[in-house]
Structure 1
Amino acid sequence: MRRHIPSTRALLIFDAVARHHGVGKAAEELCLTHSAVSQQLRLLESQIGVRLVQRTARGTELTDAGHRYHGQIAGDLMRLQNHTLEAMAQRVDGLRLIVGAVPVLAEGWLTPLLPQFIARNPGCSLHLQVFPTDLYMADMPFDVGVQYDDAVWPGADARPLMGEFCVAVCSPRAKGRAAMARGDFRVAPLLQLRTRMGAWEEWFAQTPHARPPENLVAGHRFDLFSSLVAAVRADLGVGLVPLYYVERELRSGELQLACAHRAPSSRGYSVFMAPNRTADPLAEAFVEWLCEAGAASQTST
Structure 2
Amino acid sequence: MNPRRLTPSMSLLVAFEAAARHCSFTKAAEELALTQSAVSRQVQTLEAQLEIELFRREGRKIELTAAGALYQHELAAALGRIRSATLQAISYKNDSGPLNLAVLPTLGSKWLLPRMHEFYAKHPDLLVHIHSRIIREDVQSSTHDMNAIICAGSGEWPGYIAHQLLREKLVVIASPTALPEYPAMSPANVAEHALLNVVSRPGVWSDWFDQHNVDHRTMRSGPSFELTAHLIQAVSAGIGIGLVPQILVQDELKSGDLVALFEPMESGRSYYLVYASRYQHLPALKAFSGWLLSLPFPDN
Partner of 2:125: 123
Distance in structure 2 (CA, Å) of the matches to 1:166 and 1:124: 34
Partner of 1:28: 30
1:39 Cα deviation after fit:
0.5
**Shift in CA distance, 184/158, structure 1 to aligned 2, threshold 3 Å:** closer
Q: Which residue type is aligned with residue 117 of structure 2?
A: P
The partner residue of 1:188 within 182, 187, 194 is: 194
Q: 1:161 aligned to 2:161?
A: no
Partner of 2:48: 46
Any unmatched runs of 5+ in structure 2?
A: 141-145
The partner residue of 1:242 within 231, 241, 245 is: 245
1:36 Cα deviation after fit:
0.7
CA distances 1:175-206 after superposition (whole Å, capped 9, x unpaired): xx659966544462643544x44421344567
Partner of 1:76: 78
1:28 Cα deviation after fit:
1.5
Distance in structure 2 (CA, Å) of the matches to 1:48 and 1:242: 56
Partner of 1:199: 204
**Shift in CA distance, 47/273, structure 1 to aligned 2, threshold 3 Å:** closer
Distance in structure 1 (CA, Å) of the matches to 2:291 and 2:222: 40
CA contact (8 A) 2:166 2:271 kept: yes
1:15 Cα deviation after fit:
1.7
Distance in structure 1 (CA, Å) of the matches to 2:230 and 2:122: 34
1:83 Cα deviation after fit:
0.3
Q: 1:16 aligned to 2:18?
A: yes
Distance in structure 2 (CA, Å) of the matches to 1:124 and 1:268: 27
1:53 Cα deviation after fit:
0.8
Secondary structure, aligned partner of 1:293: coil
User: TM (normalized to structure 2)?
Assistant: 0.65
Distance in structure 1 (CA, Å) of the matches to 2:92 and 2:283: 18
Distance in structure 1 (CA, Å) of the matches to 2:155 and 2:22: 45
Q: Kindly, what percent of the aligned residue pairs are identical?
A: 31
Distance in structure 1 (CA, Å) of the matches to 2:78 and 2:161: 33
- Aligned residues between the structures: 276
Partner of 2:112: 110
1:72 Cα deviation after fit:
1.1
Distance in structure 2 (CA, Å) of the matches to 1:158 and 1:59: 52
Any unmatched runs of 5+ in structure 1?
A: 137-141
CA contact (8 A) 1:168 1:241 kept: yes
Alpha carbon RMSD of aligned pairs, Å?
Answer: 5.1
1:285 Cα deviation after fit:
6.0
